[in-house]
Structure 1
Amino acid sequence: MERKEFTITLYTENSIGLIGRISGIFSRRKINIESLNTSPSEAEGIHRFTLVIHETEEVVMKICRQLEKQIDVLKAYFNTDDEIVWQEQALYKVPTSVVAEKVYVERLLRQYGASTVVIREDYIVFETAGHREEIDRLTEELNKYGLIEFVRGARIAIIKKSAGFHEKLLEFDNREPSRAIVENEYLDQRDDVFTM
């Protein structure tokens, strides 16, 4: 099977040490995490991890099953690039003199949709968002004009065919409890009566 880029989306509880446990699953299998982002999700109290790896689909399926066995992981999804909408952010620090004197640099920044974050006498900081290839091309061009500093953020992604995880949580909450749970509640109530 061919290795390709996959984006793994995890919905988790927000607990201490979870990043270590998640990264441990990948390191034990000698799989490099190329990008990792974590943030609150659309569901209150639930966090979302977005990871990018290069692997075969078979390995990614196994990893997702293993991730879901972690007590704080609620759900793991994996997708190819064409199944998601994704972006990466970047910040560029460029000498002010270059932007003021070189019309090409100003056009280049406009072409890539870069917006100004900070203007100082000695440098200007721009931000942009796009796919990795676009960010790489802009970085390469700005290097020719004395790029001072560059940083890229981790991938953020939304699954195209998803109604959002909060819908799944609501479905789960609205389900009738299983008979075993009802019986346990009844037994707990009886135990309360006997211990009074």
Structure 2
Amino acid sequence: MCENKVYTVSIYTENNIGLLNRISAIFQRRHINIESINTSSSEIDHISKWTIVVELSEDRMKKIIGQIEKQVEVIKAYYHKEDEIIYQESCLFKIKSEFLFEERQIQNIIKDSNAKIVHVNREFFVLEKSGRTEDIELFHRELKAFGIMQFTRSGRIAVTKDEMKISEMLKVF
């Protein structure tokens, strides 16, 4: 049996209503949890790029890619191993303002992690941190001692290390 690995799926699509439900159903029917999902515009006008992170075997991944590509609006779907992509995630932390002014340690954590303070008022301040999954998890653990009021994290955004010929294919489309 093949071992499970983390894969990043890139899907190029037309932007149509109902596609999210159909693509997520492909994973749901196979009892595969989507770790993160992001959709945005792509390098080609009017074409969306989806980035989905899942953990499963490569055999199952190949079958899912085939199912995704059967959707009418899907132009092309790819899967990538972790070492084949460059990726980032972003997150926001809301913390009581008293810690920013009274705790030198939190100031050092912010500086050492290259996080940004994006909002400050009397009650709370908001930090933004971008990076790889492990960077964000470490930052989260360090801030936990100060009492995180709110936390949110984006889905992964990624580009491949190798050139993808998708742009030429999409121009023809």
TM tier, shorter chain?
over 0.9
Q: Which position in structure 1 is the counterpart of 2:78? A: 77
Bigger relative CO (Cα 8 Å, ≥ 6 apart): 2
Alpha-carbon distance in structure 1 between the residues aligned to 2:128 and 2:69: 35
Task: Report the number of matched residues.
Answer: 172
Q: Which position in structure 2 is the counterpart of 1:88? A: 89
**Structure 1 vs Structure 2: percent identity of aligned residues?**
39
The DSSP-based 3-state class of the residue aligned with 1:24 is helix
* Higher helix fraction (1 or 2): 1
Quick check: which has more Rg, 1 or 2? 1
Q: Is the 8 A contact 1:42 1:164 kept in 2?
A: no
Matched residue type, 2:44: A
Q: CA shift at 1:164, angstroms?
A: 5.8
Unaligned regions of 5+ residues in structure 1, if any?
174-196
Distance 1:164 1:105, change over 3 A: farther
Structure 1 residues 38-69: Cα deviation after superposition (integer angstroms, max 9, x where no partner): 11111001001100000011110111111111
Matched residue type, 1:161: D
> Aligned Cα RMSD in Å?
1.2
Alpha-carbon distance in structure 2 between the residues aligned to 1:145 and 1:164: 47
Q: CA shift at 1:70, angstroms?
A: 0.7
Structure 1 residues 86-105: Cα deviation after superposition (integer angstroms, max 9, x where no partner): 11100011111111111111
Q: Which position in structure 2 is the counterpart of 1:126? A: 127
Structure 1 residues 153-176: Cα deviation after superposition (integer angstroms, max 9, x where no partner): 111111111246322223x36xxx
Q: Which position in structure 1 is the counterpart of 2:22? A: 21
Alpha-carbon distance in structure 1 between the residues aligned to 2:166 and 2:125: 39
Alpha-carbon distance in structure 2 between the residues aligned to 1:169 and 1:153: 27
Residues 116-195 of structure 1 mapped to structure 2, 5 A cutoff: 116-163=117-164, 165-170=166-171, 172=172
Moved over 6 A (4+): none
Q: Is the 8 A contact 1:11 1:74 kept in 2?
A: yes
Alpha-carbon distance in structure 1 between the residues aligned to 2:159 and 2:6: 16
Matched residue type, 1:134: D
Alpha-carbon distance in structure 1 between the residues aligned to 2:68 and 2:120: 44
The DSSP-based 3-state class of the residue aligned with 2:51 is strand
Q: Which position in structure 2 is the counterpart of 1:115? A: 116
2:53 aligned with 1:52: yes
Q: Which position in structure 2 is the counterpart of 1:191? A: none
Alpha-carbon distance in structure 2 between the residues aligned to 1:27 and 1:76: 18
Q: Which position in structure 2 is the counterpart of 1:7? A: 8
Unaligned regions of 5+ residues in structure 2, if any?
none
* Higher strand fraction (1 or 2): 2
Q: Provide the TM-score with structure 2 as the length reference.
A: 0.95
Structure 1 residues 126-154: Cα deviation after superposition (integer angstroms, max 9, x where no partner): 10101111111111111101221111111
